[in-house]
Structure 1
Amino acid sequence: MTERLIKPVGRGFLFLDSHPAGCERLVGELTGQVEARTPDKNPVALVIGSSSGYGLAATIAGLARYGIDGVGISFEKAPTVRRTATAGWYRTAATAAYAERAGRSFHCVNADAFADTTKADVLDLVEREFGGVDYLVYSVAAPRRVDPRTGTTYQSALKAIGEPARTKSLGYDDGRPVLQEVGIEVATDEEIAETVQVMGGEDWERWIDALTDRKLVNDGFATVALTYIGSELTGPIYRQGSIGAAKAHLEQTARDLTARGVRAYTSVNGAAVTQASSAIPGIGLYVSLLHKVLGEAMQTPIQQSVALWDQLTGERPLDLDDEGRVRLDRWELSDDVQQAVREQWNAVTQDNLAAVADTEWFHSEVRRLYGFDVAGVDYDQPTEVDVAWPKS
């Protein structure tokens, strides 16, 4: 037994440790929010980036609603003598346990999704266990990528394109919300190109190529890469910045795959509190304002993921825009919602920050990413941190 008393210690939105019991209970909450369907057959899915954010939500929604079998891939750190495992490690263990209780054959692989060796190993597993896949969901959020074919390491950049930008941003000082103004430097051409290499569609296409070459795509196969557009308020750092260039490449990759005869889409999800999004200047404030405006009408990642699976499986028609993207964000980008958020964005000051934006909710959501602030967990009691990775 390696029980420890775990407290949320860290800086900003990053915590040094995660709470295993909180992560497990959070997965239980998410599975309980999904209404099950009874499909004619249980689809086989490959989810790349299955341990956090929208990738986790897509995995849980697929398991709980349509009883998917398949493989989830993520890249997480095991517990050490000094630190707990990453939150994604504990969430994966809880997800695998749920899949087993539900009678599903879902394998969890801990490896670098960018590596060709990972692709080969996972496809060997798919061929051995399932014979092919019906769906591939691509949800990779990584700061860097090593191209296995050249050995080159690419680093993504959170920068503007064309001219410097400034944005309001949300921070916390010992739990107290602080309104900040952050300057955003201009990305060089090299930084833009590297960001595209990390966050664009090249690796997604390589997964499709690998599956196709091995003849592991079933009839009717479809693939979707998860993306985000967002508001004009976050545009300078997101859609119009270096990340936006990568997202544009991801969307072009979907068009290229479609031209090859693959049912390939990008899914434009709505704003949410994730470990990736909380690190982007301006996003925290924007999401806090959005939640203040919408309250319970703000759609969660699990709600959006249920909608995505319903559309992929044909339960509901695909909601496509003029560019062929699946739109799960219409609730966020409606004119009335954006107008209300814009008014709050323009009006917010340090004095009215806690009243205008839902800062307490946002702070709690960030903590929940690491297993804290989850109802029903006694954080004053030690918890077992040495949780094994699921057998694959």
Structure 2
Amino acid sequence: MNEHLFTPRNRGFLFLDSHPAGCARSVADMWEACPAPSGPSAAAATEGEGPAALVIGSSAGYGLAATLAGLKRAGIRGIGVSFEKAPTVRRTATAGWYRTAATADLARAAGRDLVLLNGDAFSDAMKDQVADLIERRFGGRLDHLVYSVAAPRRTDPVTGTTYASVLKPIGLPNRTKTLVFDEEGVPEVREVETGPAEGDDVEQTVAVMGGSDWERWIDHLAGRGLLAEGFATAALSYIGSPLTAAIYRQGTIGAAKAHLEATARTLNERLGRTVGGRAVTSVNGAAVTQSSTAIPGIALYTGLLRGVLGTGLVPPIRQLATLWDQLTGAAPLALDDEGRVRLDTWELTEEVQAAVAERWESATTDTIAALADLDWFRTEVRRLYGFSVPGVDYAAPVATDVPWPVPTPRAADDDSGPEAVRSTV
């Protein structure tokens, strides 16, 4: 068993390795922070016979929060899909690999039947594998699907064309403030300019981050007759502040989000007609994630938002607990005029946005420490990779070759034994 001592190595917000024990502890902390179930869902959660659910993008960010909140709050059983890299002789596994192993341990301890698959969610092979599992392991009916995929590229399984997403404004260049840290962790506020989308940049980004794959998943499962009566699905999204709108909501990503919302309306009409179901987008609030730190201006905005709200900033696990309440009927669906679930209202009030905008205008390298919660932001970035997690002994060596979790065979599976439900592809 390979054991190592770790000194975090990073390039900006990207860390080169992840800490297995820190990743596991961060998952346990999220589990503890999730509100316990109440009302009718409490019994199902306790008995381990909750609704059958599929979470696509289950190992990081809001997808991880959806998985953990679903397990604890709604008592789901089912399948999580992610795409993570295994440990090698020279490198650790990706942080999501270790978080997935920890999620499996928590699910097992709580009596939840959870199968975790590692592979390309965009592929038809993965869709077939999931459908087969639903048929033989989860009674042939799926109650919920949460779609939370953030990927830089996607290969269309029909045409074989590979599309790549870009982070660009549409129409004109965008110049914005952004937050960076040097190798010593000293903060700097810079201005960066991003050139506008060119050629087919918008179409490529929509092909990767829009609703095409979400719809393909629904089509695939419906074609196999696997959607339960009342089936509900949600794709996770973000709108954000006017301060970041040019690069986000009005940029190439925004075009993809608009496509996602249009897809939700199409799916909602179809599911309502065929299985009495629903499809919505869930607009979540700001958080520090591996995806969000790559977007110019988002790091600065999130740090300032925390400076304004402090502990009033609602973490993803609590937001997703609210979403599960709405998806399962424990609470009414609270939709805006566009048919979207809004979990970001705490962030976008006039008072909060005015306070953040005032700090944004004043933000310079000299003033940023007084305006943003930099200690919190740095810690949140490091926690994404398992570092700076309270309660972890970073002076002790830790095993890095953690195996991908393989579920316990069930009587409902076929006769080919554990290999029939092996969770890697």
TM-score (norm 2): 0.91
- Is 1:132 paired with 2:141? yes
Q: Distance in 2 between matches of 1:105 and 1:7?
A: 36
Residue 26 of structure 1 is matched in structure 2 by 26
Please state whether the residue corresponding to 2:324 is helix, strand or coil: helix
Q: Would you say 1:213 and 2:228 are equivalent positions?
A: no
SS of match in other structure, 2:347 = helix
User: Could you tell me which of 266, 286, 292 is aligned with 1:256?
Assistant: 266
2:236 aligned with 1:226: yes
Letter in 2 for 1:226: L
Q: 8 Å contact 2:134–2:141 — kept in the other structure?
A: yes
Residue 128 of structure 1: how far off its partner (Å): 0.8
Q: Distance in 2 between matches of 1:235 and 1:184?
A: 13
Distance between the aligned counterparts of 1:359 and 1:91, measured in 2?
A: 25
Q: Is the counterpart of residue 366 in structure 1 residue 376 in structure 2?
A: no
Matched, 1:143 2:158: no
Match for residue 104 of structure 1 among 82, 101, 112: 112
TM-score by length of structure 1 reads: 0.99
Runs of 4+ in 1 over 6 A off after TM superposition: none
Whether contact under 8 Å (1:39, 1:66) holds in the other structure is no
What is the CA–CA distance in structure 2 between the aligned matches of 1:123 and 1:39, rounded to whole Å? 27
User: What code does the residue aligned with 2:73 have?
Assistant: R
1:353 matched to 2:368? The reply is yes
The amino acid across from 1:99 in the alignment is: A
1:207 aligned counterpart, secondary structure: helix
State the partner residue of 1:161: 170
SS in 2 for 1:233: helix
1:211 and 1:39 map into 2 onto residues whose CA distance is 28
Give the CA deviation at 1:39. Answer: 4.2
| Structure 2 residue aligned with 1:316 | 331
Q: Which residue of 1 aligns with 2:413?
A: none
Q: Against the structure 1 CA distance between its residues 272 and 338, is the aligned structure 2 distance closer, same or farther, given a 3 Å change threshold? A: same
Residues 35, 318 of structure 2: 8 Å contact kept: no
Q: What is the deviation of 1:316?
A: 1.3
Shift of 1:35: 2.8
Q: Which moved more, 1:356-365 or 1:72-81?
A: 356-365
What code does the residue aligned with 1:196 have? V
Q: Deviations over 1:98-127 (max 9, x none)?
A: 001111100000010000011001110111
Is the counterpart of residue 94 in structure 1 residue 109 in structure 2?
no
User: Among the aligned pairs, what percent are the same residue?
Assistant: 63
Alignment check: 8 A CA contact 1:96 1:108 kept? yes
Match of 2:200 among 185, 190, 194: 190
The number of residue pairs the alignment matches comes to: 392
Of 353-362 and 275-284, more deviation after overlay is shown by: 353-362
Say which of 197, 215, 235 aligns to 2:245: 235
Quote the Cα distance in structure 1 between the aligned partners of 2:73 and 2:266: 30
Correspondence 1:119 to 2:127: yes
C-alpha distance in 1 between matches for 2:144 and 2:26 = 25
Q: d(CA) in 2 for partners of 1:216 and 1:187?
A: 40
Q: What's the Cα RMSD here?
A: 0.9
- Report how far residue 189 of structure 1 moved: 4.1
The within-5 A match list for 1:293-308 is 293-308=308-323
Cα deviation per residue 1:16-63 (whole Å; 9 max; x = unaligned)? 100000000111111111232214550110000000000000000010
* Residue in structure 2 matching 1:279, options 294, 299, 307: 294
Match of 2:410 in 1: none
Contact kept in structure 1, 2:303 and 2:374, CA below 8 Å: yes
* Alignment equivalent of 2:359, drawn from 328, 344, 348: 344
Instruction: Tell me which amino acid in the other structure corresponds to 2:90.
Output: R
Residue 66 of structure 1 deviates from its aligned partner by 1.8
Task: Note the C-alpha offset of 1:259.
Answer: 2.0
Give the 3 Å change call, closer, same or farther, for CA 25–148 of structure 1 in structure 2: same
**Aligned residue in 2 for 1:64:** 72
